[in-house]
Amino acid sequence: MAKYIIKRVLLAVLTIFLVATITFFLMHLVPGGPFVAEKSISAQAQAALNAKFGMDKPIMVQYKNYMLGILHGDFSLSLKQRGWAVADIISSRFPVSARIGGLAVLLALVIGIPMGSIAALNRGKWADNLIIVIATCGIAFPSFVVCTVGMYLFGVNLGWLPTFGLTSAAHYILPVFALSFYPMSYITRLMRSSMLDVIGQDYMRTAKAKGLSSTVCLFKHALRNAILPVVTYVGPMMAYTITGSFIVEKIFVIPGLGGQFVSSITNRDYTVIMGTTIFLATLIIMMNVLVDIVYKIIDPRIQLQ
Amino acid sequence: MIKKNPLSFQLNVDDFLPATEEERLSLAQLRPSVSFFKDAMRRLRKNKVAMISLIVIIVIILLAFVVPSFYPYSYEQQIKGALYLKPMTYSLDEQARIAAGEKIFPHILGTDNLGRDYAIRVMIGSRVSLLVGIIASAIILLIGSIYGSVSGFFGGRTDLIMMRIVDIIYTVPDILLIILLSMSLQDPLDALSARPGWGWVETIGVNLISIFIVFALLYWVGMARIVRGQVLTLKQSEYVTAARALGASNKRIIKKHLLTNCIGTLIVTTTLQIPSSIFTESFLSFLGLGVAVPMPSLGSLASDGLNGLSSYPHLLLAPALLIGLIILSFNLFGDGLRDAFDPKMKS
């Protein structure tokens, strides 16, 4: 077990390092540096700016400085938002995204698992068919379609829900639902197929034969085994909700990290893009490792490599 | 008829007569043998959902590639005095011309903020989305199948190192890297397109090329894993040993025997890759990182349509729903193909 954990963590650290390196050099592929676009700047001012951000040094030195800075939590300053450190931008914006993302993940699990189980227990009946149709649509429609159609129906047409901002509880409904629709559908499908698999197992027949009530059968034997594939999906789901929030935050004008990321792309604010990428990549990769380890712990049948 | 000796224990001599023509025909195989491919196609034709999705896909392909060539409007043509027309309405100028007895093709989906016919823009947009999906999937098929088969075939340390690389790419958050790459590739590609002989870069569009590069760099890993798994089992089969005994080179074994035998998996995985490529492209276009203006893509059309949502909802709903329909029908068709080619894989 310890060996497995060490191996996974080392691989994750290597991946994070590679992502940071790739990010750094990709940003420097852009010829001329970030200040060239600002026409009003004189040659002297540009040299001063370059010196201030350490961009006059050879690229390997810059690389070393940047990586050392990251290790100390210093993502350097924002190029376009004067006076803001990238780390401050991340720490002020991220809680908003985390709240929406967390709620979306919760909603996906709370609705997806029962829906999948209901579909499997009523295989072939109308409830099953209905759930499958909804889940298939949920997988096919990109988040921006769900967002915008939901916004049009409930925000503009019916006027029930607010369409932008994040000031009251009602503001959360549309973004959280839009963000959770895809993972919810995915979990429903996953849960349905694994539940069907479990129901056909010998131990389920044994449990029924020894006279356990159907509630105990369902919750103690079926659900506990069928839920395992869903656990493996939690890692990718985190990655999805984080990147999905780019779109959702842009559409609903939510002051989160995703919206910040998108606007820094259009502003070409390189240090913010780099800092955010490295931060989010680390988060996603760490989540994946954590989920994999937890999975191995809760399912003793899985062999450790 | 040979006469039987009444005292002999001989078996019935008639049983040993040469078969007549009639008997021979009754034993002959009447139907031609069904090949693997035909068998799969037969199963596919029985699958109603898959066939309906196939029809939808064909209709969309016709709309995207054939109809625009004889459609009366072009996607960048701006019609004077026809800003923000509602669907099936005409501008004042056009109404006057109709009153004068002229025939004018209706704006089925109205016009956009620059007076361009929206129906043709949606059609061209779906052409871009389909092209991206198909070309990206072809790139993924090429790289993934070669990488996976080489890794699985040689095994041992080669396999270990190649699969570690796949593991690392697999955990890299793809959307983040796509955004980074398409941003930083923009300037080098712009510079490249200015050189003589590289003008095609401009016509395809810098953003589109960087999307393809990203797919080629990152998205083949799923395909590579699947192909490797297949090759690992296939390489144990007798015909591979036989081929090797006959002196076939490694390259020939991989090409002729291993890859041809996972053709079902390759077809299914590629088909299911198309919707996910379209998904990613529309995501990027929606964020403003897709194709260049005035070329539309479904994602960028939806993104533009968002601005006038309350007054002109059809500008948003048409591309948004169409992209959902495209992805849905490709997904359902891919599922049908999977059931047809590999009933064991059915989930």
> pLDDT digits over B307-324, tens only?
777 777 788 888 888 888
- CA atoms of A151 and A154, how far apart (whole Å): 6
Q: What pLDDT is stored for residue A36 in this prediction?
A: 52
Element at A138 (helix H, strand E) = helix A126-140
A56 pLDDT above the threshold of 90: no
**Most confidently modeled range among A178-182, A253-257, B54-58:** B54-58
Of the residues A13, A133, A145, A271, the best mutation for testing chain B's interface (the one with the most B CB atoms within 10 Å of its CB) is A145
B288 with A266: Cβ contact below 8 A = yes
Kindly report, residue by residue over B287-312, the tens digit of the pLDDT.
777 776 677 888 888 888 877 777 77
B275 with A18: Cβ contact below 8 A = no
- Which residues in chain B have Cβ-Cβ distances shorter than 8 Å to A148? 302, 305-306, 309, 316-317, 320
Nearest C-alpha of chain B: how many angstroms from A29? Answer: 6
Per-state percent for chain B, helix, strand, coil, to nearest 5: 70, 0, 30
Please indicate whether residue B148 or residue B340 has the higher confidence score (pLDDT): B148
Kindly report, residue by residue over A92-103, the tens digit of the pLDDT.
888 888 888 889
- Which residues in chain A have Cβ-Cβ distances shorter than 8 Å to B60? none
CB of B168 less than 8 A from some CB of A: yes
B231's tokens: 């090759």
The model's confidence at residue A223, banded by pLDDT at 50, 70 and 90, is: confident
B59 pLDDT above the threshold of 90: yes
CB of B279 less than 8 A from some CB of A: yes
Q: What is the dihedral of CA A206, A207, A209, A212, to 10 degrees?
A: 170
A18 with B320: Cβ contact below 8 A = no
Q: What pLDDT is stored for residue A301 in this prediction?
A: 67
Of the residues A18, A28, A148, A191, the best mutation for testing chain B's interface (the one with the most B CB atoms within 10 Å of its CB) is A148
Share of chain A above pLDDT 70, in %: 90
Beta bridge partners of A85: A77
Mean pLDDT, rounded, for A277-283: 84
B288 with A156: Cβ contact below 8 A = no
Q: What pLDDT is stored for residue B98 in this prediction?
A: 75
Q: Which of A18, A145, A265 sits opposite B320 (nearest CB)?
A: A145
Mean pLDDT, rounded, for B158-167: 84
Mean pLDDT, rounded, for B152-179: 80
Kindly report, residue by residue over B13-26, the tens digit of the pLDDT.
777 778 788 877 77
When the pLDDT of each residue in chain B is averaged and rounded to a whole number, the result is 80
A277 with B332: Cβ contact below 8 A = no
CB of B164 less than 8 A from some CB of A: yes
A27 with B184: Cβ contact below 8 A = yes
Mean pLDDT, rounded, for B232-246: 88
A304 pLDDT above the threshold of 50: no
Q: What pLDDT is stored for residue A184 in this prediction?
A: 92
CB of A246 less than 8 A from some CB of B: yes
CA distances from A215 to A188, A202, A218, B146, B316 (A): 20, 18, 5, 50, 47
- Which residues in chain B have Cβ-Cβ distances shorter than 8 Å to A132? none
Kindly report, residue by residue over A96-136, the tens digit of the pLDDT.
888 888 899 999 999 999 999 989 888 888 888 899 888 88
Of the residues B161, B168, B171, the best mutation for testing chain A's interface (the one with the most A CB atoms within 10 Å of its CB) is B171
A152 with B331: Cβ contact below 8 A = no
B336 pLDDT above the threshold of 80: yes
Kindly report, residue by residue over B98-142, the tens digit of the pLDDT.
777 777 777 777 777 777 778 888 888 888 888 888 888 999 999
Is the ipTM higher than 0.90? The answer is: no
CB of B194 less than 8 A from some CB of A: no
DSSP annotation of B290: S
The model's confidence at residue B10, banded by pLDDT at 50, 70 and 90, is: low
Least confident of A52-56, B42-46, B192-196: A52-56
Q: What pLDDT is stored for residue B346 in this prediction?
A: 46
